[in-house]
Amino acid sequence: MARGIDQLKKTAESNPTTLETVKKRLIDGAEGFFKNYDASVDKKVFELQTAAYNNYIQCPSTSKINNAANGYNSDAIFSKSFLTDKDRYITFIKKFTAKSVKTLEKDPGYGHYSLLFNDFINNHYANYEAYDAKMSALLKVYVKGKLELFPEKKHWADANSTLRITYGKLEGSKPQDGVQYLEYTTLDGIIDKYYTGNPDFELLPQMFELHKKKEYGKYAQDGELWVCFTGSNHTTGGNSGSPVIDANGNLMGLNFDRSWESTMSDYMFDPSRCRNIVVDIRYVLWVMDIYSGAGHLVEEMELVTQ
């Protein structure tokens, strides 16, 4: 929610003419967020995670965390911040103007977020990346030693630099009673997601223009532009970006995810409900050709139509 406010703040400072549009999106998104939000549960999680964070991060700014004198204690955040209550949140958004930017830091919730986020990015993120790189290198040594020390035990397969193929069909699913997923999504869904208020679904004006005019070119199917489709292939972590081909070896799309009901498939693959998610190659080509104006790249390819 605080990241959404960052977007509101940025809009007020750089493009105030679109402020009302952003405000509407955030208010619409609040309905879905607070529907399943329990501040009392979040407060307990917040306190435990803050204590854990303090154990690992040592810097002057962390002295303000959970310090009532500085206004960053959890009681103040969850009883006063507009970020932890639907009514306070919507009221704040409705009244927000360019002049409100100066008062943001006074809110205990947003002030806490701003302090910690900026401190982490500026002072600790580089160390985190260095640590992660070191751990990755040491993991290789650990795995090699594990294989040599315990050759008789079962180990996970080393599939690096090997070709792995999985077979499935393009199909939707019925993961539970009363719920049915089609086997594909369209550009209509991308437009709909924009209006949820979630900043992850930000779009540029050109996308709306092309959608309104239905300028899909040769990449449409029955008047629609497919974006993604699902299949009953058995994928796993590391398959993101894998090519998905048809029976004739033609590229259909790129695998990048699996459905929420499929997250257990590494341990129990159920062909009736497990679905991998693929970005349709026609959508990729449409983005390159029509949306981005890079049709010269498409001309270098041999496109197969069926």
As given in the structure block, the two tokens for residue 121 are 């990015």
Q: Kindly report the number of other CB atoms within 10 A of residue 101's CB atom.
A: 14
For the domain covering 173-299, report its CATH number: 2.40.10
**Beta carbons of 89 and 33 less than 8 angstroms apart:** no
Q: What are phi and psi of 29, to 5 degrees?
A: -70, -25
Largest distance between two CA atoms of the chain: 69
pLDDT of residue 14: 86
- Write down the domain spans for the chain: 2-123, 173-299
Pairing of strands 226-231, 243-245: unpaired
pLDDT of residue 299: 94
pLDDT of residue 198: 81
Tell me, yes or no, if the pTM score tops 0.75: no
Mean pLDDT in runs of 10 for the chain (306 residues)? 88 87 90 91 90 71 51 81 95 90 86 85 90 94 94 82 86 89 96 87 94 96 96 89 94 95 89 94 97 95 85
Taking the CA atoms of the chain, what radius of gyration do you get in angstroms? 24
Q: Which amino acid is at 20?
A: E
Nearest to 212 by CA among 230, 225, 196: 225
Helix (H) or strand (E) holding 253: strand 251-258
pLDDT of residue 62: 52
**CB-based contacts of 70: which residues, under 8 Å, 6+ apart?**
64
- CA quadruple 201, 207, 208, 210: dihedral positive or negative? negative
